[in-house]
Amino acid sequence: MQASETRLAPEAPASPRLTAMPGGVSPRRALPRGPRTPRLFQSLRYSLWPYASLDISTRRYGDCYTAYPLGGPPMVVFTDPEAIKEIFTSDGAELRAGEAAGPILGPILGWHSILLLDGERHHRERRLMAPPFHGERMHVYGRIMREIADRVVDGWPLGQPFPIHHEMQAITLDIILRAVFGVDEGARFARIRERIVRFLAQADGPAAAFLAIRPFQIELRGLTPWGRFVRDREAIRAELVAEIARRRSEGTEGRTDILSMLVEARDEQGEPMTDAELIDEMFTLLMAGHETTATSLAWVFHHVLDRPDVLAKLRAELGRVVGDGPVEAQHVPQLEYLDAVLKESQRLTPVATNVIRRLTGPMRIAGRDLPAGITVSACIYATHRRPDLWPEPERFDPERFVGARPAPYTFFPFGGGIRRCIGAAFATYEMKIVLAQVLSRVELGSAPGYRMRPVLRTITIAPSGGMPVVAERRR
Ligand code: HEM
């Protein structure tokens, strides 16, 4: 591997300028109405009250408005399924997800990450990375997922509150380490896990917001947040280089982990992924797959623990399908009510509120002419709460999904089109196994006095305080 390949790219791609509109209309004037408060205020409001701030804007401006985030171009937000369809069915030439995400994610994931690529490079990467995540392969990971969930549940205190979100993070991290990185238990596992936990604490911690801001990216021998971040990232990188080298020299026969499959993958020219590509993609899978899944699980507990009717139905289904034994691969497709509960939780409290694309040229979306340089958002949260699509949208009602498929472009917790989450099947399978296992092992209730507030973490919206619960042994 070239030394230069291992470094983070020094520069983010340049931002395109807003172009003039036909007839010389200023691009900003052509944008839909939206909040006129200062950008700092708009960003602060979203950081403090992520869901409520979207509710306020939708109530005031309807299904299309312009928001002005701090440090970025204007963002035109859509919640109308027709507009969402236009965004998701674009071939990616004019609507670029990589360019939109680059300035924030580039320094964290590395510039080879699929999340930052557009056009042909994204297409190639997607073809290389998609096969290991195919839905039919997921049963391969079922046993690992169940064992990890069981081990974590074994450590829970009985009768005292503990934050279940943190426990879900422990489960999803170990699942990524074993199923994606292919690191087995033992000293190597413990060492890599410890390094990743330290790295994630930087990327998710209080200094996370500064990591993406260039003037704050000063290393100072590991004394600054950025310096510590780079140091921890390099330590994991070294472990990954060793893991890749091991697979290249020993072969991957008999291995089912996703890293092994990516090492073996070949593009249409018969070329493998380079080490630099593999490393950035492993960081991407870690960052995109760990916190999102843990937070989605925490939200399910928030919704079901105060609903004895929903819990009773879930338990009845588990008893009928799984019985007294552990949940096995063949049970998962039969757990229809569990599937509905999961979807309803993702509808009401999606962990990502917006899916964002950047316009490289002027474009007409939902009958509106928009200038190049802006971003557009398919707003997951606000679309999922439209009363015309989802009657009584604030009510948690899994029955909406029982025996029914949502209308196209009305439900998209995993985004859509050519950029739809590559790990959607993996995450869904994992969440079902974990929920089935937890609910069959322990009785859970919300911690006394807990009042949930949705809070913005680095990349997700989560229930506040780690979602404290109390566990009791199941009778
Ligand atoms: C419940 C858990 C998860 C949620 C809610 C979620 C959500 C999302 C969303 C909203 C996107 C953007 C899609 C778009 O731009 O249209 C995305 C992309 C992505 N996700 Fe997930 N994700 C989850 C779990 C995972 C897992 C487990 C992995 C892998 C281990 C993963 C890997 C990725 C990757 C690689 C992309 C980029 C795809 C591309 O740009 O082509 N995600 N995810």
Residue nearest to atom 39 of ligand 1 (CA): 419
Total domains in the chain come to 1
pLDDT of residue 243: 93
User: CB 453: neighbour CB atoms within 10 A?
Assistant: 12
- For the stretch 123-139, pLDDT in tens is 999 999 999 999 888 99
CA distance 114 to 61: 34
Residue nearest to atom 43 of ligand 1 (CA): 421
Q: How do strand 75-78 and strand 375-379 relate by DSSP bridges?
A: parallel
The helix or strand, by DSSP H or E, that contains position 162, with its residue range, turns out to be strand 161-163
Domain that holds residue 123: 3-473
User: CB 412: neighbour CB atoms within 10 A?
Assistant: 25
Residue 91's pLDDT band (cuts 50, 70, 90): confident
- For the stretch 205-231, pLDDT in tens is 666 666 666 666 777 777 787 888 888
Which ligand 1 atom sits nearest the alpha carbon of residue 418? Answer: 41
pLDDT of residue 73: 93
**Displacement of CA 248 from its chain's centroid (Å):** 30
- For the stretch 269-321, pLDDT in tens is 999 999 999 999 999 999 999 999 999 999 999 999 999 999 999 999 999 99
Contact of 229 with 214, CB cutoff 8 Å: no
Secondary structure of residue 391 in the 3-state scheme? coil
Ranked by mean pLDDT, the top range of 87-96, 175-184, 197-206, 342-351 is 342-351
Asked if residue 5 has pLDDT above 50, the reply is no
> Per mean pLDDT, which range of 9-18, 254-263, 428-437 is the poorest?
9-18
Which ligand 1 atom sits nearest the alpha carbon of residue 431? Answer: 1
Q: What is the mean pLDDT of residues 384-401?
A: 98
**40 to each of 46, 67, 123, 461, how far by Cα in Å?**
10, 11, 36, 20
Contact of 246 with 252, CB cutoff 8 Å: no
247: domain CATH number? 1.10.630.10
CA distance 249 to 252: 9
CA distance 424 to 300: 16
Q: Is 230 in the pocket of ligand 1 (CB under 6 A)?
A: no
- Both tokens assigned to 332: 């998962």
CA distance 181 to 437: 23
Residue nearest to atom 27 of ligand 1 (CA): 289
pLDDT of residue 289: 94
Residue nearest to atom 9 of ligand 1 (CA): 414
Percent of all residues in the chain with a pLDDT value above 90, rounded to a whole number: 77
**Residue among 414, 428, 432 whose CB has most ligand 1 atoms within 8 A, to mutate:** 414
Pick the closest to residue 127 from 290, 269, 288, 336 (CA basis): 269
Report CA(289)–ligand 1 centroid distance (Å): 7
pLDDT of residue 22: 59
Report CA(407)–ligand 1 centroid distance (Å): 21
- Both tokens assigned to 90: 């674009």
pLDDT of residue 206: 66
- Both tokens assigned to 349: 């409290």
